[in-house]
Amino acid sequence: MGAYDQLRRKLEARFGRAGVIGDPVGRMLYEYDGGVDRATPDLVVFPQTREDVIAAVKLAHQAGAPLIPRGAGTGLSGGAVAREGGVILSLNRMRRIVEVDVENLRARVEPGVVNLEFSDQIAPTGFYFVPDPSSQKACTIGGNVAENSGGPHTLAYGVTVNHVTGLEIVLADGAVARLGGKTAECQGYDLVGPLVGSEGTLAIVTEITVKLTRRPEAARTLLAIYDAAEQAAATVSAITAEGIVPAALEMFDGFSLRAVEAYIHAGYPLDSAAVLLIEVEGLEEEVEEQAAAIEQVCARAGARETRRARDEAERAKLWLGRKHAFGAMGRLSSNFYVMDGVIPRTKIGAVLAGIERISAASGLRIGNIFHAGDGNLHPLVFFDQRVPGQFEAARAASEDIIRLCVEMGGSITGEHGVGMEKDGLMPLIFSEADLDFMRAVKQVFNPEGKLNPGKLLPTYRSCRETALAAAPAGAAARL
């Protein structure tokens, strides 16, 4: 009997046969997330309580098996993929809202609570959970914590780490620890920050204390329409230069907005080269002033028209187009690669021009829909995996885009995480001393390296890293 056969029997004895998947067909359903990388786990187990998590962690630890935490599987960097096999710990059945404490502006939730469902359930209180990834209808708050997710409203409110004050975690050997809590400040080392965005490589999160934010009194949503993408890009910096911080500031290029409009019918103009979707929130008088000021800035920057959503229905339609944009792209291509990089706002025009050159050099179409306000790009590289060489070309083009972002003073990810997609690219922004320090932190929490191995930090030279080392000037050569 193999090691995983023994582990399966032990897990089934603890969780029942319905709580463990070990057959090949069932395991195939867990070999991927929302990204392009795939690997098949040896087992999948479904804890429903903290005690279940502790039991699963201890059994995996005793067997020396890798353990991969997984939420809804909407991640885009391979973070929930069992790169080295092992046991996937699916946390999406842990969906209790433990406490809602409006007086202290806090709530405690389990990791499997769905992002948007949580805000909907607490809506009668007048408060909500701010981070709003495009996948918020499906993604879990535990997954948001693992990836430090953002969303369109990151510009004004920050990412997940800015809305988490406490964590309950299970360490690699099954020990339990509580970090932070309801208070704004904590004594001793603040370890919540390093855990948020650690992609399951430090611990398994079993409970999250989140901030509650009061829903704004008023909101105005504007659609600025341009005949040149460069004008839209220049507007982004012009708005912030005026001292205005919108709640959200999104950009679509013409190719992408036409694809979205054909699917959603949100009212995006089909003849434009680019649009900005801009939202301001706050007190009624304040948002009215800001909306008027933004209209003036857009006009000065070359917008041919700036529309305001007339009512809540029209506002919701405009945002539906943004939230379902990636889904709309599935109508254009059998496959597309969603990349995630960050640049300074002032470099948006230059980077979009560089992406166009990368597209021409690769022979692959690239669309752009992104969080322009904080420079978080999401280029979509279209390919057909049935055509030999196209997937490799899409991956190479995507890595060229990331290199371009770094050359422009940016970073390799804004919200999708590093996962197994970009671990080989970490040396682009971190020195070996930096990486050694991160490995030392990981060693404290996860000394045997069995929690989500092969993610975030480059622990070995993958085939991709070898290829990059052989062609260090790949991006420049293509550009």
Q: For 360-398, b where at least 16 C-beta lie within 10 A, e where not — what string? A: eebebebbbbbbbbbbbbbbbbbbeeeeeebbebbbbbb
Is the distance from CB of 220 to CB of 308 less than 8 angstroms? yes
Residues 6+ apart with CB under 8 A from 474: 396, 399, 400, 403, 468
- Cα separations (Å) of 69 from 23, 111, 255, 426? 19, 10, 37, 22
**Tokens found for residue 64:** 């020396």
d(CA 454, CA 69): 13
CATH number of 97-214: 3.30.465.10
Which residue's structure tokens are 């392009």?
Answer: 36
Neighbours of 454 (CB within 10 A): 22
Q: 244: buried, middle or exposed (CB in 10 Å: 19+, 13-18, 0-12)? A: middle
- β-sheet bridge partners, residue 180: 166
Strand order in the sheet with 204-211: 97-101, 106-109, 204-211, 164-170, 176-180
pLDDT tens, position by position, for the chain (479 residues)?
Answer: 588 999 999 999 999 999 999 999 999 999 999 999 999 999 999 999 999 999 999 999 999 999 999 999 999 999 999 999 999 999 999 999 999 999 999 999 999 999 999 999 999 999 999 999 999 999 999 999 999 999 999 999 999 999 999 999 999 999 999 999 998 777 789 999 999 999 999 999 999 999 999 999 999 999 999 999 999 999 999 999 999 999 999 999 999 999 999 999 999 999 999 999 999 999 999 999 999 999 999 999 999 999 999 999 999 999 999 999 988 998 899 899 999 999 999 999 999 999 999 999 999 999 999 999 999 999 999 999 999 999 999 999 999 999 999 999 999 999 999 999 999 999 999 999 999 999 999 999 999 999 999 999 997 544 444 344 333 333 322 22
Q: Which of 119, 92, 106 is nearest to 166 (CA)?
A: 106
What amino acid occupies position 461? R
CATH number of 333-478: 3.30.70.2740
pTM of the model: 0.93
Domain ranges of the chain: 3-90, 97-214, 218-328, 333-478
d(CA 149, CA 221): 23
d(CA 4, CA 70): 19
- The DSSP code for 148 is T
Which residue's structure tokens are 């055509």?
Answer: 387
Strand order in the sheet with 274-282: 305-308, 218-226, 274-282, 248-253, 366-370, 379-383, 335-338
Q: What is the pLDDT of residue 188?
A: 86
Annotation: CATH topology of 218-328? Alpha-Beta Plaits (3.30.70)
**Tokens found for residue 420:** 């197994």
**Tokens found for residue 181:** 């809590």
Q: 218-328: same fold as 97-214? A: no
Q: Does the structural domain 3-90 have CATH classification 3.30.43.10? A: yes
Is the distance from CB of 136 to CB of 128 less than 8 angstroms? no
